[in-house]
């Protein structure tokens, strides 16, 4: 026997309260659907939770419902650049004769009552705390008021976090880095033979295959020729502004330096002994890696940008590096990897867990030590 409409509405509110306040799901606006609520959390096993209030009276209607869900989920996957998306459907009003069969990525629950949720195998496996969290001390109007207030507060907190994350910040570090690069460029012309002279580059700290690790840092701020300088300063300005907005000032500096060092270590390992290298390209690719990591973790908001802007720019730049002679691809690839890795270490505000940061630190340190060993002790 199905629950009454009043009890069903209250149960819907309780389920919403659970997923929004306890599991950090957010409501999703899905065009073309009625009598159902969609919730989304890209960090959970079930990235989509769907609560269906409309009556499902036979298997044909259920099959059509499954088809509709698969079509809408495909659209969400394309929008958020997600390859796998598990969906769990809570049917609040379904004929008992309709058989619910779970597929690989689409699970179904017939919600007859709170007790039925407690007994449901899928709920016990994936949401064991749900039955307890659906229990409240309040009753009647006070219960509705509490649920509404809790959901409203959670949504407001989430909005504040997102606004904080995407609020533009003054690119202090980016401007300082550009200033340092410009300073060294001027110094090479004022006190030596210019930025294209090999002896000048070596004297100011250009990267060569020797045992001086200080050059891993100094070479980041040197550039070979005015065109090289202008291109990297322009890229640093564009990318640095974004990274500083997403990660903050100190993290941007760490991403830049670490990525540059990783790119330079890979260069030392693979470069020719008679070559000198300089430039911020590896560090700039590290900024690309940081933006890529951020976009992947914020696919709900940056899925389209990830698909149409960020990935194409990275791919085009890597291919250009292989096609154009004189470009240090070792620094580019090393910087990109280093940027993504150190970004996972430093974390995204309000997003990255302590466990993820610890893993990031371990991997970042291991990579640094392993490349340093290969560069200077092999």
Q: How far apart are CA 136 and CA 277, in angstroms?
A: 66
Phi-psi region of 229 (alpha: psi -120 to 50; beta: other; left: phi over 0): alpha
Q: Which two tokens stand for residue 328?
A: 């240090």
- Count of CB atoms within 10 A of residue 323's CB? 8
- Residue 187 CA: distances (Å) to CA of 69, 190, 200: 63, 5, 10
Q: How far apart are CA 356 and CA 84, in angstroms?
A: 21
Contact between 40 and 29 (Cβ < 8 Å)? no
Cβ-proximal residues to 321 (8 Å cutoff; 6+ apart), any chain: 327, 329, 332
For residues 154, 159, 162, 166, the Cα torsion angle rounded to the nearest 10 degrees is -170
Concerning whether 281 is annotated as a catalytic residue, the answer is yes
Contact between 246 and 301 (Cβ < 8 Å)? no
Cβ-proximal residues to 337 (8 Å cutoff; 6+ apart), any chain: 262, 289, 367
Pairing of strands 86-91, 46-52: parallel
Q: How far apart are CA 192 and CA 345, in angstroms?
A: 40
Catalytic residue among 281, 343, 344, 364: 281
Catalytic residue among 228, 332, 343, 344: 332
Handedness of CA 56, 59, 62, 64 (dihedral sign): negative
Cβ-proximal residues to 18 (8 Å cutoff; 6+ apart), any chain: 127, 130, 133, 134
Half-sphere exposure of 282 (CA within 13 A, CB side): 32
Task: Return the closest-CA partner of residue 326 out of 273, 289, 271, 375.
Answer: 271
Q: How far apart are CA 307 and CA 185, in angstroms?
A: 36
Concerning whether 353 is annotated as a catalytic residue, the answer is no
Residue 26, strand partner residues:
40
Active site positions, annotated: 281, 332
């Amino acid at each position: 026997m199905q629950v009454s409409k009043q009890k069903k509405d209250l149960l819907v509110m309780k389920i919403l309260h659970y997923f929004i306040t306890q599991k950090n799901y957010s409501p999703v606006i899905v065009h073309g659907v009625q009598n159902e609520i969609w919730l989304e959390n890209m960090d959970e096993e079930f990235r989509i939770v769907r609560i269906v209030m409309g009556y499902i009276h036979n298997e044909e209607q259920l099959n059509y419902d499954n088809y509709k869900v698969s079509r809408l989920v495909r659209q969400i996957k394309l929008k958020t650049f997600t390859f796998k998306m598990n969906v769990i459907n809570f049917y609040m009003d379904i004929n008992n004769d309709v058989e619910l069969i779970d597929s690989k990525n689409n699970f179904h629950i017939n919600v007859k009552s709170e007790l039925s949720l407690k007994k449901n195998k899928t709920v016990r496996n994936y949401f064991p705390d749900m039955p307890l969290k659906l229990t409240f001390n309040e009753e009647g109007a006070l219960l509705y008021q509490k649920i509404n207030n809790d959901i409203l507060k959670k949504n407001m907190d989430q909005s504040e976090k997102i606004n904080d994350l995407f609020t533009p910040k003054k690119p202090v570090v980016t401007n300082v880095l550009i200033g340092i690069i410009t300073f060294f460029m001027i110094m090479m012309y004022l006190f030596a033979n210019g930025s294209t002279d090999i002896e000048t580059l070596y004297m100011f700290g250009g990267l060569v295959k020797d045992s001086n690790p200080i050059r891993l840092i100094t070479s980041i701020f040197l550039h070979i020729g005015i065109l090289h300088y202008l291109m990297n300063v322009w890229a640093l300005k564009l990318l640095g502004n974004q990274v500083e907005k997403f990660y903050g000032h100190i993290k941007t500096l760490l991403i830049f330096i670490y990525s540059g060092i990783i790119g330079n270590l890979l260069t030392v390992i693979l470069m020719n002994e008679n070559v000198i290298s300089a430039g911020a390209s590896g560090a700039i690719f590290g900024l690309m890696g940081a933006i890529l990591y951020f976009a992947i973790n914020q696919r709900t908001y940056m899925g389209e940008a990830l698909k149409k802007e960020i990935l194409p720019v990275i791919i085009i730049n890597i291919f250009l590096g292989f096609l154009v002679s004189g470009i240090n691809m070792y620094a580019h690839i090393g910087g990109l990897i280093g940027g993504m890795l150190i970004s996972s270490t430093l974390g995204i505000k309000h997003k990255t867990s302590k466990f993820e940061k610890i893993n990031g630190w371990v991997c970042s340190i291991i990579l640094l030590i392993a490349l340093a060993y290969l560069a200077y002790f092999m």
